[in-house]
Amino acid sequence: MLQRAYAGFSWGMVLLGIVHMAATTRFFDSLTQSALWFASAGIAIVLAGALNLLNRRYGEAAPGLRRVCVGANLVMTAFGLAAGLVGRATAGELVIVVGLTGGAAALSTLRASLLPSRAAV
């Protein structure tokens, strides 16, 4: 159950990042520094989601990957919360962003949410 929840949070982050990147053209009429920074946040969210997917599959066998993933999740959660508060995000937007990143952060610390490592063939 935890493994599926972790996959859901991870894929949710990937999807959120894709939506964030796609929304760049809705919020910006031209390619500006602000537009690039907005799009780069989506890229960071996608990469953090992908890191969680890698951790879910290989984290049991690669403790360094687990540590990096937990750290990235904590940073993304804190940054998402700060950006949401500074940017006056709605409560719903904060719940989605902090919920996904915070949920992934919590699950990334639990060995039970990782898939068992496969023996080399």
Determine if residue 88 is left, alpha or beta; phi over 0 gives left, psi from -120 to 50 gives alpha, anything else beta: left
- Amino acid, single-letter form, for residue 40: S
Q: Is residue 120 domain-resident?
A: no
pTM as predicted: 0.90
Q: Which residue has the tokens 């066998």?
A: 61
Q: Is residue 71 domain-resident?
A: yes
Q: Is residue 77 domain-resident?
A: yes
Segment among 66-70, 93-97, 116-120 with least mean pLDDT? 116-120
pLDDT-derived band at 119 (thresholds 50, 70, 90) equals low
Residue 85's H or E segment, with its range, is: helix 63-86
Q: Is residue 100 domain-resident?
A: yes
Q: Is residue 16 domain-resident?
A: yes
Residue 61: which domain range? 2-113
pLDDT for residue 121: 44
Q: Is residue 119 domain-resident?
A: no
Q: Is residue 121 domain-resident?
A: no
Average pLDDT rounded to a whole number, residues 50-74: 95
Per the structure, the count of domains in the chain is 1
Q: Is residue 60 domain-resident?
A: yes
